[in-house]
Amino acid sequence: TFMELLAGISLAAIEQWGKYTNSGNDRVITYPIAFSELYYANVISPDNCETFVYGISNTNINYRLCNGYNDDRWNGTQTSRLFAVGR
Predicted confidence (pLDDT) per residue in 28-74, tens digit: 888 888 889 989 998 888 666 778 899 999 999 998 887 656 556 66
Buried b (16+ CB within 10 A) or exposed e, 26-48: ebebebeeebeebeebebebeee
8 has pLDDT over 60: no
CA distance 28 to 62: 5
Query: So what's the pLDDT on residue 71?
Result: 59
Q: Which residue has the higher pLDDT, 34 or 8?
A: 34
CA proximity to 64, closest of 22, 26, 20: 26
